[in-house]
Structure 1
Amino acid sequence: MKRRFVLAVPALLLAAACGLGDALADYPTEPVEVGTADLVGVWAGYQSSARYDLRADGTFAATGVPAGQLGTIYERTGRVGPFHGHGHWTLGTRSHSSPQTAREAVLDFDELLDADNAPVEQHGDVQLNASTPTDAPDHVLILTTTGDWFQRLP
């Protein structure tokens, strides 16, 4: 009995450390209305090494961006990434009803570089959709995109 308890404690601690990420990855999500202030901060990818630093002045910096988050960039350029760069971001709208609700951040690159720091001519953009896991405590805000989701770093 004691041995099982001793083995269970480290397993529980490891689960707690990884738990938020793993739990959020499996949860169904629902869109959530957001404003600019809700999205300001550094967002880290769960599946990828991508990080997006969304700033209050409407600019952003990005690192570790995989090709899949930039749409058809591989087909257009033949480059696989990871990419990094900077640009401007705005709130997009998802709803066509009135009033329109902002549920995504649209990141337009002013400069995009590949892993060798070579400029990429056809930049592309990234759309990060704001949502919250339906069963998560405190309705944590996450951003999602193709094949990944992002959590704000403290």
Structure 2
Amino acid sequence: MPPVAGPPGWTTKRQEAFLAWHRARRPGLAGPLHECTFAIINDGRIVGSARLARHDSHDVLEAGMWLARSERGRGVGTATLRKLLDEAASAGARAVIAETTANNPAALAALRHNDARLTTHQDSAHVHAQLALDETQPPPSASPNP
């Protein structure tokens, strides 16, 4: 979701933009935005958001995730990414890509636990991840059920 101008915090304007952004993606990967979003639920609470979007081709999807700080480092991101990979495979994708930074240990751990191939760009802290979808391999173990 793009940034919303204004004071820090969960303002009315930011809440409205958040809802509009997710509602626009309701049609899913086949919709006009070629993107779908999911709520991440842990212990009955919404603790984040995840998304899949078509990339340059129909068989590669981009994954993204936002997770509340209180949920990071507890396996929720790893389990959510596993579910995104399952969703991508169901949609016919052969690979999923993701972008993060070298200073995001929780994201890097979730990617590594799901067997991502990570490439760090020399001149930046940018990390590119590629996850091949191979239905013949059992999924990596993951903790909580988002």
TM-score (norm 1): 0.27
Larger Rg: 1
TM-score (norm 2): 0.28
Higher relative contact order by CA 8 Å / sep ≥ 6: 1 or 2? 1
Larger relative strand fraction: 1
